[in-house]
Structure 1
């Protein structure tokens, strides 16, 4: 992001963003929001220490600031304001709500998924990204349970929810910790990938393709074989697009990076979901 792009934002619009009156329309606006100012406008009763901590972190990356905002809000009032923040006009504030769901103590996996669901289905592109990022540590810690819990999401009418099931479990997801278990044994997630292999939505197709492209960097033959099988079983434009994009790294002849050592996951391949043929 260049300074000229930042200065393209009109002062009046930036003021509205910082007051939480409007949503960011692009990534540049998302990155330009003053979290401390927005927090003060959104929650005027917030203590000065929380605001000072937020202001002091202004130079940090946006993901760290999102996580910090959630921790500060939880420390001040727990989840009392979570419902209101989840419906706030500001996409940044709704992003804070995502990270509050991820960071709240004492919630079961099912509770977290229920709370994150409307945020994963949010109309704003940024909130949807924060939703899966905020759940990433929970998914990593409870991988088998999370995969099983997300299987029904692959059949949701909303393409946003179907995409969440794939994006949240990417082996080498962007802006987040890699899932070593899925890098080593991507077949664990077949119950999520199979129902999406011919998904009609490009939004979902791109996520599934990126999932497999991630996997190809550690398990190239597995991805090659899977795409070959899918192409035979589902000769559709959707599947073709997924496989074309999934194999892009292998087509460039790039070798797998960061080889993994042995891991302890030994469970058998998860059962097929209903309707998987």
Structure 2
């Protein structure tokens, strides 16, 4: 029998105690953003560490969380992933990293993405290869955190990253194609900006061109938003690209992307 997917609580007030308990124990995935934001990451962490006989990792992580100047779901997420990586390295505990990467709790898999992003021993090729499965995760939260977790490495190795990610644009998985675009957007609400792409957005055309008529709305939205970001600093570049695409790719998918790209500057 096919499992019925939960719709999830529409507000924190609608979140039932039994569902919250299961979420904080890592027994079920979050069904939407409301549930994702409602998780007590400290409780979830303690439960997972206890379950896998690694409570010795708890105090260093809690200490790192307590020292955060700003405690948000994302800063706590990153702190947990960072310290768990450090503790695993310190104890030669690669097995625990594998446990996190394949845990049924989506938040645990989010932590796992940072164990890749914080590993300074990895080359950018290795980082992107290891993050790729997370970019294709079935859960929206893991997919979003996956590009944020390696954003700094992508920005620091931009040309090589673009070359690698350009190959991802032909992947059969829409989530992987979307990662190639989303991870290289110049601006982000919860992440650092990539200044070189603000000045030279044409560097990313190797990624954008193959996606200009992608059949998936999820990818189209990312490409449209990428170009809309670029329009804030390089409006003429965006207009030029959109005018060319309109001539070269007369599809409803391209038209949708163009409309989204030009929504704040006009044609």
Q: Which of these residues, 231, 236, 239, is aligned with residue 216 of structure 1?
A: 231
Unaligned runs of 5+ in 2: 1-9
The 1:11–1:185 alpha-carbon spacing in structure 2 relative to 1, beyond 3 Å, is same
Q: Distance in 2 between matches of 1:225 and 1:209?
A: 14
Q: Which of these residues, 71, 77, 100, is aligned with residue 60 of structure 1?
A: 71
Structure 1 moving runs of 4+ over 4 Å: none
Q: Distance in 2 between matches of 1:198 and 1:187?
A: 18
Q: Which of these residues, 160, 164, 171, is aligned with residue 156 of structure 1?
A: 171
The TM-score normalised by the length of structure 2 is: 0.89
CA contact (8 A) 2:208 2:223 kept: yes
Cα deviation, residue 51, structure 1: 4.8
Q: What does residue range 106-125 of structure 1 map to in structure 2 within 5 Å?
A: 106-125=121-140
Q: Which residue of 1 aligns with 2:183?
A: 168
The 1:225–1:51 alpha-carbon spacing in structure 2 relative to 1, beyond 3 Å, is closer
Q: Distance in 1 between matches of 2:117 and 2:215?
A: 30
Cα deviation, residue 84, structure 1: 1.9
The 1:214–1:55 alpha-carbon spacing in structure 2 relative to 1, beyond 3 Å, is closer
Q: Which residue of 1 aligns with 2:14?
A: 8
Instruction: Say yes or no: does 1:198 pair with 2:194.
Output: no
Q: What does residue range 97-136 of structure 1 map to in structure 2 within 5 Å?
A: 97-136=112-151
Instruction: Say yes or no: does 1:73 pair with 2:79.
Output: no
Cα deviation, residue 175, structure 1: 1.0
Q: CA RMSD in A?
A: 1.7
Q: Distance in 2 between matches of 1:55 and 1:73?
A: 12
Q: Which residue of 2 aligns with 1:269?
A: none
The 1:150–1:51 alpha-carbon spacing in structure 2 relative to 1, beyond 3 Å, is closer
Aligned residues: 249
Instruction: Say yes or no: does 1:49 pair with 2:59.
Output: yes
CA contact (8 A) 2:212 2:254 kept: yes
Does 232-241 or 33-42 show the bigger shift? 33-42
The 1:23–1:243 alpha-carbon spacing in structure 2 relative to 1, beyond 3 Å, is same
